[in-house]
Chain A
Amino acid sequence: MIKFLKRLFTDPELQKKKVFLRSLELFNDLSSRDLGFLVRSLHTRTYKEGEAIFEEGDIGRAMFILETGRVELGMREQSGKTRKIFTLEPGDFFGEMAMLERLPRSASARAVERAHIHLLYRANLEEILHYHPRIGVSIMTHLAQLMSMRLRHANKLSLLHQPPTYG
């Protein structure tokens, strides 16, 4: 009886989405209740194979979380051709810079196979920060840690490629 009522009143899709989101490092600090609020703030879209998600130079307004499928990130070269720089797998997220700044995208993203993607729009994150600051702060902290890690990596790379100085 309880099982029947539970099946009647609870949303299995919500549970599935919560499990998926909890598996991501970005949201693994959030409680089940927090994840419930977060799921309601996400927009979901399925991209066809080859469909553009965004182009280099577009103004970024959302962050993308890849649930299924694969996405390629590419950058335009001087010749006009697009060079592949990374392939994203399920569970990866991209376009997160749009959460922090309102600047043109630094790369293009395209689905290389049918991809199910969750979008966290900046205005939704701002709403979360306003009404559920605990959730918002947790997400922002993870994003800041990610940026810090990338900056350290970039510093290391730039030091490696610096010409040696003598004397």
Chain B
Amino acid sequence: MAKHPEPRSFPFLTLLVVTGLSAYAVFHLRAVLAPFFLSVALAYLLNPIINWMESQGLRREAAVVLFYIVVAGSLTIAAQQVLPSIKEEFTDLKASLPVYLDHGQDTLMRTHAKVLHWLPMDPTTAKGYTEKIYEPLIEQIQNIPSYLLGLFPFLSLFFLIPFITFFLLLDWHNILSGFIQLCPGRYVEQVLYIIAEVETSLGNYLRGAMIVVAAVGTASYVGLKLLGVKYSIAIAALSGVSSFIPYMGAIVGAAVGCVAAWVQSGSILAGLKVVLLFTVIRLADEAFVQPVVSKHAVKLHPLVYLLSLMVGGELFGFVGLVFAVPTACILKALLKVGWEWYTTEGYLAAPPVDGESSPYT
């Protein structure tokens, strides 16, 4: 056999520098990159469907276009059913928002006066303390319309994300093959191992999250509708989307739904019913949905969940909260692979097999 040059060692330092620079770039470009990351996640979720269509003999381009046509058709039919309700809710909210805000401000003022009356201290000192609590609350209520307007730029994502996803789905195999082709030949198996581990943990998390979002959103809509709360579609959508962040779906749904029900009916009992509804939804999620979802998912300690959410929120704001847990899943998979390499690579020996000494018959 011809003598070949010894293979070079793995360029860990280069990898470290490239990873560091990439992390720095991602941090500074986070606002721009968020739609791309969301599109990658969506493409990743949809890829098995396109793969299945491809395995049936369809050309990938045809499979992607056909899938988009089917989804667009289904969404158009669904929108025809749901859009009138959304429009009705929106028109109603536009008309009643100032009334609700005034009502909220009045309620806060009245409770402020009551609290001042109850507090066993000098009224001027008590007012100083309570105003510190109440003034920011009143300020936040006044800011609600601008917060709602601030949500409109996010609507552009509904067009941008499917657009980017389309091209990612078309070139998914080429991107992966190109990456594998770039890796040094000897490390292809290891790179595939990393991809498989990340795919397992991230894929299970994303698929699980989608199931939770759909389940919480649907249950919230049905529950709120039964309780007769107005704007049930908006509150259920908010609660469903917030479920991407663990434990947040029920909290956001209960908080917004409670205030809405309280203001609409003028009774605190209606608000408490909504809180009870979201408590039941949370418990049902824990009892019935989570066991199915987390069966194959990466097990993250609740403290790791919390820490990743805090770090993600601190570094990247709302986007950081959404991507915190998937990033923790990826890091855990990478750590697992790294540790396995460190402990096993080159040190494994064939285990003794029972009956090894008996002749093969």
Interface residues of A (CB under 8 A from B): 8-11, 14-15, 33, 36-37, 39-40, 43-48, 50-55, 57-62, 72, 74, 81-84, 98, 101-104, 110-112, 119, 121, 123-124, 151-152, 155
Contacts and interface: CB of A to CB of B under 8 A. Distances in A.
Contacts of B345: 58-59
B359 A155 contact: yes
Contact of B1 (A37, A72, A104): A72
Most buried by A among B60, B192, B349, B359: B192
B57 A14 contact: yes
Given A53-B186, A103-B348, A74 B58 contact: no
Contact of A39 (B55, B59, B188): B55
A44 B177 contact: yes
12 contacts: A11-B57, A11-B59, A36-B57, A37-B55, A39-B55, A44-B177, A52-B7, A54-B189, A55-B7, A55-B186, A57-B346, A62-B188
B186 A82 contact: no
B185 A47 contact: yes
Nearest to B1: A84
B87 interface: no
A98 B59 CA distance: 32
A36 B55 contact: yes
B4 A152 contact: no
* Interface size class, chain B: 35 or more
Contacts of B188: 43, 45, 53, 62, 119
Given A53-B188, A54-B186, 19 more contacts: A8-B59, A9-B62, A14-B57, A15-B57, A45-B185, A46-B181, A48-B185, A50-B4, A52-B185, A53-B185, A59-B345, A60-B189, A62-B192, A83-B1, A103-B350, A121-B189, A123-B196, A151-B360, A152-B360
B54 A11 contact: yes
Nearest to A123: B196
Contact of B59 (A10, A46, A84): A10
Contacts of A62: 188-189, 192
B1 A82 contact: yes
A55 B3 CA distance: 14
B175 to A, nearest CB: 13
B344 interface: yes
Most buried by A among B177, B189, B345: B189
Contacts of A81: 3
Interface in B1-45: 1-4, 7
B279 interface: no
A97 to B, nearest CB: 11
A53 B58 CA distance: 32
Interface in B306-361: 344-346, 348-350, 359-360
Contact of A9 (B58, B344, B360): B58
Q: Top 7 closest A-B pairs, CB basis?
A: A84-B1, A36-B55, A123-B196, A51-B185, A11-B59, A61-B189, A52-B186
Contacts of A155: 359-360
B265 interface: no
Nearest to A155: B360
Interface string B47-64: 000010011111110100
Nearest to B346: A57
B90 interface: no
Contacts of B190: 61
Contacts of A101: 350
A121 B50 CA distance: 20
Nearest to B181: A45
A26 B192 CA distance: 22
A36 B51 CA distance: 10
B193 interface: yes
Contacts of A15: 57
Nearest to A98: B189
B200 interface: yes
